[in-house]
Amino acid sequence: MSWNNGGQGPWGPSRPGGKRPEPPWGGGLPPDLAALIARLRRLLGGMADGGNGGGGRGGARGGGEAWWGGRLWLAAAVVVVLLWLASGLFRVQPDEEGVVLRFGAFARLVPPGLSYHLPWPMESVLRPAVTRINRIEIGYRSHLAVENEGRDVTEESLMLTGDENIIDIDFTVFWRVRSAPDYLFNIRHPAGTVKSVSESVMREVIGRTPIQPALTGARGAIEEAVQKGAQAILDEYRSGIEITQVQLQKVDPPPAVIDSFRDVQRANTDAERMRNEAEAYRNDIVPRARGEAARIVAEADGARQAAIAEATGAAQRFGSVLAAYRAAKDITLTRLYIETMEAVMEKGGVVVIDPAVKGVLPLLSLGGSGAAMAPAAKGSVP
């Protein structure tokens, strides 16, 4: 760029003889800049000659100022360097783990406590919380609660069951950092990754489960299956995240049909109750009937055995009497007569009347013997 522009300089028309015009402040550099350059030259000159440059009293005074100025600059530089070195001090809290980066790459892990790394830009430190349990809500948001109930997020909570029913599920995932380097460098959005993986695995598990077990007794199995499936995917990603617990908060039919579904459930409950009552009655009456039948059969069998034994004994007794009769007929007949009369006399009453008693009135005996009195003849023994 030429300063000669048709006789015009940067500060106006040139003076005769080709000289440039003086600037507005009278020539040379601006006064502040000139003073600053002169001061800088004096300070550098004083630092170069150890503060002994210059002559006379003016030179001594200028050299002293330069010497003190040099010392101040040197002290300031030392302080800046010390502060820069001290910037490498850092503290890792008890719930954290220090990850030192050297030029942006992982260098080492630092336990909780006071530590040191090379100052920036050589090294830096990240301190993720590795013992804190993080919480992710899927299907609802508790911080948007209305009347102590979390706001339902239907696009996350509505799922299709194995028997092609729609179910509304809210659940919570608890997780923590297991490996700080993997957590920091292998995934970009840890919370979003955990949420997406957990929701995907929950939909897969519910897609294999009928609605009735999901609403009643399969909650524990669902939680365990989702935790294992989500952990397997996160390990495959090398995310450095550990799923500590999956907790189902609500498992219900969709709100639009929940009343009808509850009516069906009540009907099923009543039917189940009636079936249980019928089963209890059957379990009560059938054993009793079987016991009664067994008792009757046992009694009949006992009567049959008794009749057979009695008939057998009578036949054996008759055979014995017949054999004795054939051996001694007279003795046997006398014995049979006596035994028969004993049997007859045992059953009837005997009344002995003295022949000297007169005027005995014949009567029918009403005593316990049941024997009838015949009219007594004189001198006879009824």
Give the chain's domain count: 3
Residues 110 and 190 in one domain: no
Q: What is the pLDDT of residues 17-60, one digit of tens each?
A: 444 444 444 444 445 556 666 666 665 555 545 544 444 444 55
Q: How many CB atoms lie within 10 A of CB 42?
A: 18
Per the prediction, the chain carries an average pLDDT of: 76
Residues 142 and 227 in one domain: yes
Is residue 216 in a domain?
A: yes
Residue 129: DSSP 8-state: B
Q: What is the pLDDT of residues 177-212, one digit of tens each?
A: 988 888 888 888 999 999 999 999 999 999 999 888
- Sign of the CA dihedral with 40 first, then 43, 47, and 50 last: positive
Q: How many CB atoms lie within 10 A of CB 215?
A: 18
- Taking residues 267-278, report their average pLDDT: 90
Q: What is the pLDDT of residues 117-131, one digit of tens each?
A: 778 888 778 888 888
Residue by residue, DSSP assigns 79-112 as: HHHHHHHHTTEEEE-TTB-EEEEETTEEEEEE-S
Residues 164 and 66 in one domain: no
Higher pLDDT residue, 116 or 364?
Answer: 116
Is the predicted pLDDT of residue 348 greater than 50, yes or no? yes
Residues 155 and 206 in one domain: yes
What is the dihedral angle through the alpha carbons of 115, 119, 122, 127, rounded to the nearest 10 degrees? 40
Q: In which domain, by residue range, is 215 found?
A: 134-253
Predicted local confidence at residue 66, as pLDDT: 58
**CATH of residue 186:** 3.30.479.30
Q: Which residues of 63-98 are buried (b: 16+ CB within 10 A; e: fewer)?
A: beebbebbeeeeeeeeeeeeeeeeebeeebeeebbb
